[in-house]
Structure formats: structure tokens, C-alpha cells
């Protein structure tokens, strides 16, 4: 086993999954550019866009699973996962990510990078729109949303997120906050569950068609299982407005980095 590769990939998985638990995302918005640039810069590995997409999809799967479990186990700060929202959006994104994962195996790595860059820009724009959801709504309050819209938008997000190896939360979160008017803390917790469902379809698609560097993927997953619970624990103790600002900054920085590499 290459010790340096193990350390680098484990740390990258830990960083991505930490933000997964902290901000309710799958972690791909962070891990995709890290996996693309850091191993190559350190000389431990060089991954194509397609390989990064595959590693990222597995990382999202295990990071989101660990994050959801951490939310559910937190007795002091009960999870605010909205089951109806998760069922409708989870169904749409599952089939979308499965289709995207299948399609990604036939796309050039540069095309995947461009798709990621476009998604990141869209996410930043959406997150800059003021949230219409109420920050302090109690978890038990009934949330009203358009179910047909929830299924359609999650299906479309699933397709593009399956291609780049993401869970799709960095697009879903802005949509849930600004369009569907879902409260922030419910959005963050529920989106993590939706991302996990998305990752099931994405992983299935990658296993069918994509190139998967298994050793690097395993090391990344190990780091993912460590970082997500820590992020979930910290999320429960932070003011929701700081979580939102943190996500905006995070997406903006990664978008700039990716577009600099493309251009």
C-alpha cells in the first residue's frame, strides 16, 4: 500500500465529508476540485475528470450515510429531517442520478469538469438570493410544497449530479430555500437524506459504466466516515445563518478554482 496516497486520499475524504455533515451537502462540491488538483500537485496520483467523478460519488454515498446517522443519533439536537420532502425529492433524484451515472461513463473528463463548473456558478447565484423560508420554524410544523415540482427539479438535478459524481445538494439547497421556501435547518438535514438516496443511484450508474480507481476510492471513503459525524455535531451547535454564508463562500471558491483550470 502506498502510504502517502493513503494519507492524502483519507484527508481529502475527511475534508469533503466534514462539510457534508456541517452544511447538509454530499461533499462533492468540495471534494471534486480537491481530488482533481491535490493528488496531482503532490505527485501521488493523477486522476481524470471521469475518475474523480467516480471517487467523488462513492465519497458522497458514505459521507451522506454517516451524516444522516449522526443527525439521527444526536439526542440533544433532534434531527429535523422532513420525511415527506425526502420521499418525493428522493424518488426524483434517485432515478435522475442513476441516469446521470450511466451517461458519465461515455463523457470526456473535460466535459465533466465543465458541467461541474456550470453547476457551481448556478449554485452561487441561487444562494445569493435571500431565503424565503423561516429560520426558526419548529421541526414538527407542517411544510407545504409543490410535490410535482419537487419530483421534477430533483430528477433534473439528479441527472447532472450523477454525471459529476455529486449528491446534488449544492443545487437542491438553494432551490429548497429560495423557491420552495423550506426553513434552513430543515433544508440542511433533509437535503443530506436526499443526497444519500441520490448517491445510491449514482453509485449504481458508476459501477455499470465508469472507470473506478478502487484503491484511491477506498482510502477516500475511510476519511469520509470520520469527517461527516464531526461536521454534523458542529452543525447542530451553529447559527443557521452562518451555515448559509459558509456554503456560499465554499461554492464560490471551488467554482473559481475549477474555471481557472478549465480556461
pLDDT tens per residue across all 263 residues of the chain: 588 888 999 998 888 778 766 765 656 777 877 888 889 888 888 888 888 888 888 888 887 777 677 767 765 555 577 888 999 999 999 999 888 888 887 888 788 888 888 887 877 787 677 655 555 554 455 678 889 999 999 999 999 888 887 777 778 887 888 788 888 778 877 887 888 888 888 888 888 876 788 999 999 988 888 887 787 777 767 765 676 677 678 778 777 877 877 77
Which DSSP string corresponds to 54-91?
Answer: HHHHHHHHHHHHHHHHHHHH-SSS-----HHHHHHHHH
Query: What pLDDT, on a 0 to 100 scale, did the predictor assign at position 198?
Result: 86
Instruction: Report how far apart, in Å, the C-alpha atoms of 88 and of each of 9, 17, 145, 251, 257 are.
Output: 34, 25, 10, 26, 34
The residues, any chain, with a CB within 8 Å of residue 36's CB and separated by 6 or more, are: 47, 49, 52, 113, 258, 261
Cell triple for 256: 473559481
Cell triple for 141: 410544523
The residues, any chain, with a CB within 8 Å of residue 14's CB and separated by 6 or more, are: 223, 224, 226, 227
Nearest to 122 by CA among 182, 175, 163: 175
Identify whether the C-beta of residue 21 lies closer than 8 Å to the C-beta of residue 231: yes
Identify whether the C-beta of residue 262 lies closer than 8 Å to the C-beta of residue 117: yes
pTM for this structure? Answer: 0.75
The residues, any chain, with a CB within 8 Å of residue 197's CB and separated by 6 or more, are: 86, 90, 91, 93, 94
Structure-derived torsion over alpha carbons of residues 114, 119, 125, 131, reported in degrees to the nearest 10: -170
Nearest to 176 by CA among 58, 66, 57, 90: 90
Residue 12: phi, psi to the nearest 5? -65, -40
* The 3-state secondary structure of 194-248, one letter per residue: HHHHHHHHHHHHHHHHCCCCHHHHHHHHHHHHHHHHHHHHHHCCCCHHHHHHHHH
Burial class (CB in 10 A: 0-12, 13-18, 19+), 198: buried
Question: What is the C-alpha to C-alpha distance for residues 220 and 224, in angstroms, rounded to an integer?
Answer: 6
Query: What pLDDT, on a 0 to 100 scale, did the predictor assign at position 87?
Result: 92
Amino acid at each position: 500500500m502506498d502510504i502517502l496516497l493513503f494519507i492524502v486520499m483519507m484527508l481529502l475524504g475527511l475534508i469533503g465529508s466534514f462539510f457534508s455533515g456541517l452544511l447538509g451537502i454530499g461533499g462533492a462540491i468540495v471534494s471534486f476540485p480537491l481530488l482533481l488538483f491535490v493528488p496531482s500537485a503532490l505527485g501521488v496520483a493523477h486522476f481524470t475528470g471521469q475518475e474523480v467523478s467516480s471517487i467523488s460519488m462513492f465519497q458522497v454515498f458514505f459521507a451522506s450515510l454517516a451524516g444522516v446517522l449522526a443527525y439521527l443519533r444526536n439526542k440533544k439536537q433532534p434531527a429535523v429531517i422532513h420525511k415527506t420532502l425526502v420521499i418525493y425529492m428522493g424518488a426524483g433524484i434517485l432515478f435522475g442520478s442513476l441516469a446521470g451515472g450511466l451517461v458519465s461513463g461515455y463523457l470526456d473528463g473535460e466535459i465533466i469538469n465543465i458541467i461541474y463548473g456550470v453547476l457551481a456558478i448556478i449554485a452561487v447565484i441561487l444562494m445569493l438570493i435571500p431565503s424565503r423560508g423561516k429560520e426558526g420554524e419548529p421541526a414538527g410544523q407542517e411544510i407545504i410544497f409543490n410535490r410535482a415540482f419537487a419530483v421534477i427539479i430533483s430528477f433534473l438535478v439528479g441527472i447532472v449530479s450523477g454525471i459529476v459524481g455529486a449528491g446534488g445538494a449544492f443545487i437542491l439547497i438553494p432551490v429548497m430555500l429560495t423557491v420552495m421556501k423550506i426553513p434552513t435547518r430543515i433544508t440542511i438535514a433533509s437535503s443530506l437524506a436526499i443526497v444519500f438516496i441520490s448517491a445510491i443511484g449514482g453509485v449504481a450508474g458508476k459501477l455499470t459504466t465508469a472507470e473506478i480507481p478502487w484503491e484511491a476510492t477506498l482510502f477516500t471513503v475511510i476519511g469520509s466516515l470520520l469527517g461527516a459525524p464531526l461536521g454534523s455535531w458542529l452543525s447542530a451547535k451553529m447559527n443557521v445563518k452562518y451555515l448559509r454564508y459558509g456554503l456560499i463562500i465554499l461554492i464560490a471558491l471551488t467554482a473559481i478554482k475549477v474555471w481557472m483550470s478549465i480556461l
